[in-house]
Structure 1
Amino acid sequence: MVLPVINSYAMPDRSAVPVAGPPWAIDPARAALLVHDMQNHFVRAFPPDRSPVVELVDNIATLRELAGTLGMPIVFSAEPAAQRPGQRGLMRDIWGPGIGPEPDGDAAVVASLTPRVGEHLMVNVRHNAFLRSHLGRLLRAEGRDQLILCGVRAHLGILLTAADAFMHDIQPFVVADAVADFSAEDHSMALRWIARTGVVCTTDQLIRHLLHGKAAHSM
């Protein structure tokens, strides 16, 4: 299976955020930001200059700036180029060989989100960013037990990483309008599933609570 053609769709707004969810309060002293798979290879699959990719990139940029201002660890996960068959594993059977050698920069994080000095760039060989990576060790070393997730794709990397965060007693906060997917249906389905074991919110809601410390269940 190769990447499907993605049609433009509207980013979900507050009305699309699942009401139910854990009553956790986001705390910048406990939280880290994960920007998942925002690489040219994946982002180019979306129609350029249209929803949802315009809001996706803008909202992630906004969250990244605030996280830096608040002293939160910022982590980028990125699939490596030219993976060997043994490294790619069963991913190859479904998604093919993955990102090829990168003369055109497919493996690079999109230019507007290029990781900066002091931010972490982590190799990610599976949808779940915790698997076969040092993400868990990094969060423990930084004393962080909350993880804000944004990036692509909602029903794969974001959902699986949020679920594994929960299994590791790390509270996941998924930003509904800072993730994107193959379709509006996949996007909506992912948010509903994530809300069973994580907090789902919009960018504006999360910013307000990071700045003012209000309880997440009042989002």
Structure 2
Amino acid sequence: MRIEREHAAAVVIDYQEKLIPAMDRKETLIENSSILLAGLRALGIPMVFTQQYTKGLGSTVRELTQAAGTEEFVEKIRFSAWQDVVSSHPWIQGKKYIILCGVESHICVLQTLIDLRAADFVPVLVTDCVSSRKRTDYETALIRARQEGAILTTYEALLFELLEKAGTEESKKIQRLVK
């Protein structure tokens, strides 16, 4: 199944100032996620950021808001982001593919993914743009995501799939990002 740009949106989950320092491979997570979000922005894919208990966990890290070109977010207290995202951004229900990235992979990301499948969406989990504090939680979340019927991919594979062809201004932007 090809992920089609016009039918895709992204939910960017809880990349917050007090959570990121505890994540496994945090530097790689931020680098990969920045490229993903800049690429989605270049391709015109709408994105919704979430933050869990902002007062205690802080704002989304600056590198990612800069890459996405927005500081807007949906405040949530549920682990799954889906209900709060749909309530605040009802247009997202018109999409088929929901691209997921963020933390923690085995809690908020996974529970959002499960709710997406239950609502007949196709969750697209960007495996090199999610993390957990413990590597075993991350690995187990990927297994569960596959069992739930998610598409697993990497940021580079996804960006080129959404791009579809070379020789365009967009393709030049994406190629510069992934180099």
Aligned length: 163
Give the aligned CA root-mean-square deviation in angstroms. Answer: 2.2
Matches for 1:108-123 after TM superposition, within 5 Å? 108-114=59-65, 120-123=72-75
TM-score scaled by length of structure 2? 0.82
Q: Structure 1's 166 and 119: CA in aligned 2 closer, same or farther, altered over 3 A? A: farther
Counterpart of 1:129 (choices 73, 81, 96) is: 81
TM-score scaled by length of structure 1? 0.68
Q: CA deviation at 1:209?
A: 1.1
Q: Could you say which residue in structure 2 is the equivalent of 1:95?
A: none
Q: Could you say which residue in structure 1 is the equivalent of 2:20?
A: 43
Cα distance in 1 for residues equivalent to 2:4 and 2:27: 27
Tell me which amino acid in the other structure corresponds to 1:198.
Answer: A
Q: Could you say which residue in structure 1 is the equivalent of 2:46?
A: 73
Q: Which has the higher contact order (CA 8 A, sep 6+)?
A: 1
Tell me which amino acid in the other structure corresponds to 1:145.
Answer: K
User: Tell me, which stretches of 5 or more residues in structure 2 are unaligned?
Assistant: 166-179
Cα distance in 1 for residues equivalent to 2:18 and 2:103: 11
Q: Could you say which residue in structure 2 is the equivalent of 1:149?
A: 100
Tell me which amino acid in the other structure corresponds to 2:51.
Answer: A
Q: Structure 1's 210 and 117: CA in aligned 2 closer, same or farther, altered over 3 A? A: closer
Check whether the contact 1:80–1:123 (CA below 8 A) recurs between aligned residues.
yes
Check whether the contact 1:35–1:60 (CA below 8 A) recurs between aligned residues.
no
Matches for 1:1-219 after TM superposition, within 5 Å? 24-46=1-23, 52-82=25-55, 99=56, 106-114=57-65, 120-131=72-83, 133-135=84-86, 138=89, 140=91, 143-196=94-147, 197-212=149-164
SS of the counterpart of 2:12?
strand
Q: CA deviation at 1:69?
A: 1.3
Cα distance in 2 for residues equivalent to 1:25 and 1:152: 25
Tell me which amino acid in the other structure corresponds to 2:44.
Answer: G
Check whether the contact 1:139–1:145 (CA below 8 A) recurs between aligned residues.
no
Cα distance in 2 for residues equivalent to 1:153 and 1:141: 22
SS of the counterpart of 1:127?
coil
Check whether the contact 2:105–2:138 (CA below 8 A) recurs between aligned residues.
yes
SS of the counterpart of 1:155?
helix
Cα distance in 2 for residues equivalent to 1:192 and 1:141: 26
Task: Return the index of the structure with the highest Cα Rg.
Answer: 1
| CA deviation string 1:98-120 (max 9, x = no partner) | x2xxxxxx411111112666674
Cα distance in 2 for residues equivalent to 1:36 and 1:211: 23
SS of the counterpart of 2:79?
coil
| CA deviation string 1:62-81 (max 9, x = no partner) | 11111111111111100134
User: Sequence identity of aligned pairs in percent?
Assistant: 26
